[in-house]
Structure 1
Amino acid sequence: MKKVSLILIPICFFVLLSAAHAAVGKVSKLSGEVSYRTRDNIPYQKAKDGIELEVGYWIKTGRNGWARLSLSDGSTFTLANNTELKIDSFLVSKEKKSGIFNLSQGKIRATVTKLTGQQTNYRVKSPTAVAGIKGTEFMMMSQGYANVFFGNEGSAEISGDSETSKPLSSDTIVQNTRGITPTDPVKVDENTPLHTAKKSFEEITAAKPPEDWEKSGNLPGIIARWNINYGHYLADTGKYEEALYVFQIALDLTDNGDIKGDARLERGSVYASFLRNPEAALAEYLLMLEEYPAYPQRETALYRTGMILYEMGFAKRAKERLLQYTAEFPSGKHLGNVETILKMIKD
C-alpha cells in the first residue's frame, strides 16, 4: 500500500506541474513590430507566429505592430499598435474558466467564448479600470488615466477602483478615468462621430491589420472631442457632476492641447455658471493659462480669470489680469467688458 502511495505522489505532482505550465494559447498571427517576454522585468524579444503563451507572459506591439492571440478555449485577443498586455492568470476546466489579463496601455478587441453550463470569469484590467467578462466581444482602449469600452456582442461589467460597475452591451460606450466609477452607457448611433470612432476601432482590431495606423492615432482625439460635446448636453440637462466627469475624461484621453484647452474652459464654465463655485472655476482657468499658453483658449481663460477675481472681491489681482488681457489682446472680443470693469476698479 505504501508503494502505491509513493508511486501516486510523483504522478500527481507531475500532473499538477503540467497543468501549471500548460500553454494559455499562442500568437496565431502578427504583423509589424511585435515582441514578448516570459516574465516581469526582463527585456522583450522579437515574437514569431505560433509562439506558445503561458501565464506571466507579456505581449507588446510597436507603432506599426498588430497581433492576434488565440487562447486554448477558443477565445481571441487582438492587439492594435502601441499595446502592452500581460497574461496574469488562466485556468480552464469543464465546469469553469477564469483569467486575468492586464492591459498596461493600448487598444484590444477581446472575443471570449462561453459554453453552455460552463462558468466564465475573465477580467481585463488596466491601471484604472476592470472589465468583467462572461462571454462577449468588446473593444477596450487604455490611454493614460482614461479607459474607453465599446460593446460589440453580449455584455460585460465595467468598474473602476470600487466594486460599483456599469453594464456594457452591444453598440454602447462606457468610459472612466482615474479609477472612478464609469459613466453610464451611451448608445452608439449611426452617422455620428462616436460611430465613426467605433468603426475605426473595429478596423484596427479586425482579422487582419490595417494598411496604416492613422485611424488608430486619431481615436483618442475623436472620442475626447465627442466627450466635450456630450458634456455640453449633460450640463444643459442639469447633470453637472456627470458633465465635469466627461470633460475630465476628455482631458485625460488626449494629448491634443486644443481639445484639452476646451475641456478646461468647459469645466470652469460648469463650476462658475451652474455650481456657483468660483474657486474651482478659477483653478480651471489658471491651469488653462499655465498648461496651454499658446492656444486660442488663452484669451477667454484670461478674461474669465480677471472677472472671477473681481467678483470674488480681489480687485487688485483682477486688475492685473485684466490689464494683462488688454496688453495681449488689444482687439480682443471681451475688450469692451474688460475696459468697463477696469474703470470701476479704484486704485
Structure 2
Amino acid sequence: MKKIFTMILINLCFFMFISHVYAAAGKIAKLTGEVSWRDRANVPYKKAKEGLEFKEGYWIKTGKNGWAKLSLSDRSTFTLANNTELEIDKFLVSTDKKEGVFKLTQGKLRATVTRLAGQQTNFKVKSPTAVAGIKGTEFMMMTQGYANVLFGNEGKAEIGGDSASNKPLTADTMVQNTRGITPTDPVKVEQNTPLYTAKEGFEKITAAQPPEEWEASGNLPHIIARWNIQHGHYLADSGKYEEALYVFQIALDLSDKLEIRGDARLERGAVYSRFLRNQEAALAEYLLILEEYPISPQRETALYLTGILLDEMGFTKRAKERLLQYKSEFPNGKHIGNVETYLQRIKD
C-alpha cells in the first residue's frame, strides 16, 4: 500500500510539473496589422492569428503597422504597439502567488497587471538595459535602443538598471534610463507640457483599440528627447550637472534626428566647459558634432566653440585653423564678429 501511495504521489507531482510546463500563459486576444510569433529564439517568425495561445519561451512581434493585445491567464494584459518585440520568458500562477518575466527587446507596451488579495505578485518587464518590477499596476514602457522611458498610470512599480538601486514609478510620473545606469528621479507629468503630450500619444497607441495611423508612435522618442534637452538645461542651471549630462545622453540615445542630437551634444559641451571646467570633454562633444553631423544646423556653433576651446587650451595653431575654417564656411555667420576678433589676437 505504501508503494502504491508513493507511486501515486510521484505521478501526481509529475503531472503537475508537466501541466505547468505546457500550460498556456495566455492568448492573443486582439490584433491588427502585421503580428507574428515564434515558440523559441533564433527561429523564423510565423504569422499570428487572434486566439493564438502562447507559453513560456514564446515571442510576439508587431510590424510597422502591427498592434496586439495579449490576455494572460491571470487576467493581466499586455498591449503591444507597432515595431515591438516581447518574449514571455517566465510565467507561473498558483493560488497564492504568481511570477512572470517578460523581455521587451524593443518597442512600446502597456502592462496592466492584476493583483488579488492574499496573492503574492512578482512580475518583471525587462529590456536589455532596464527592469520594471511590478506588484499590481498599470504602466507604459518604451525601449528605444539603449534608452527606456516609463509612464505610470496606476499603482506603483520599481524601475532599475544594472545596479540594485531602483526608482519608484507611480501614477502620472515618468522615469527613464539608458545604458543600464540607475534611472532618473521620477518627474511629475504636468498638463500642457511636451511630456504630457508624449504620455497622451503613448496612451492612444496602446489603448483598447489600435490607432488609425502610427505617426504619433514614431514621433514619441523625438518628443521625449526634445523635452530631455529642455529639462537638462533646467537641471544644469539648478547646479545638477551630472543629472543634466545624463538626460542629455538619454536624448541622444532616444532620437536619431540630427537637429536633436546636435542640440544634445552642444548642451553636454556647455555643461562640461562652463560648469565642470572640463575642456577636453567639452571639445570631444563639439568634435563629435563636426564628425557625425556635418550637415546639422549645430555645425556652425560647434566649429566656432572648437576654435575657442583650442585657444583656451593653448593649442593656438589648431585654434587658428578651426577659426579660419569657420570664416570660410560661414562668412556671414552669427559668430563671425567674435571669430574676426580672435583671429586678430591669435599669432602664429
TM-score interval, normalised by the smaller of the two chains: over 0.9
Q: Which amino acid aligns with 1:73?
A: D
Equivalent-residue separation in structure 1 for 2:116 and 2:12 (angstroms): 30
1:179-198 alignment to 2 at 5 Å?
Answer: 179-198=180-199
Corresponding residue of 2:94:
93
Q: CA deviation at 1:7?
A: 4.0
Equivalent residue, structure 1, for 2:20: 19
The corresponding residue for 1:285 is 286
Q: Tell me what 1:300 maps to.
A: 301
Q: Alpha-carbon deviations, 1:89-127, whole Å to 9, x = none?
A: 011111111100000000000000011111111000000
1:221 counterpart SS class: helix
* Paired position in structure 2 for 1:243: 244
> Could you say what secondary structure the match of 1:110 adopts?
strand
- AA aligned opposite 2:189: V
Q: Which residue of 2 aligns with 1:336?
A: 337
Residue equivalent to 1:268: 269
Alignment of structure 1 residues 75-90 onto 2, 5 Å: 75-90=76-91
Name the amino acid aligned to 1:28: A
Counterparts of 1:166-205 in structure 2, within 5 Å, are: 166-205=167-206
1:145-160 paired onto structure 2 within 5 Å: 145-160=146-161
Q: How many residues matched?
A: 347
Distance in 2 (CA, whole Å) between partners of 1:4 and 1:165 is 48
Aligned equivalents of 2:106, 2:30: Cα separation in 1? 20
Rounded to whole Å, the distance in 2 between the matches of 1:147 and 1:126 is 8
Letter of the 1:241 counterpart? E
Equivalent residue for 1:318?
A: 319
The superposition leaves residues 292-321 of structure 1 with CA deviations (integer Å, 9 ceiling, x where unpaired) of 000110000000000000000000110111
Q: Which is further off, 131-140 or 91-100? A: 91-100
Secondary structure at the counterpart of residue 114 of structure 2 = coil
1: CA distance, partners of 2:224 / 2:26: 33
The 1-side partners of 2:338 and 2:223 are apart by: 35
Secondary structure at 1:220 match in 2: helix
Deviations 1:210-258 (A, max 9, x none): 0000100110000000000101110111111100000000000011111
The separation in 1 between residues aligned to 2:172 and 2:48, in whole angstroms, is 33
Residues 129-183 of structure 1, C-alpha deviations (whole Å, 9 max, x = no match):
0000010000000000000000000010000000100000000000000000000
Structure 1: 5+ residue runs without aligned partners? Answer: none
Letter in structure 2 aligned against 1:213:
W
- SS at the partner of 1:332? coil
Deviation at 1:11, TM superposition (A): 3.4
Give the SS at the match of 1:135: coil
Q: SS state of the match for residue 262, structure 1?
A: helix
Partner secondary structure for residue 317 of structure 2: helix
Task: Give, in whole Å, the separation in 1 of the partners of 2:55 and 2:102.
Answer: 12
What's the CA shift for 1:196?
0.7
Following the alignment from structure 1 to structure 2, what is the Cα–Cα distance between the partners of residues 165 and 42? 35
What is the deviation of 1:5? 2.6
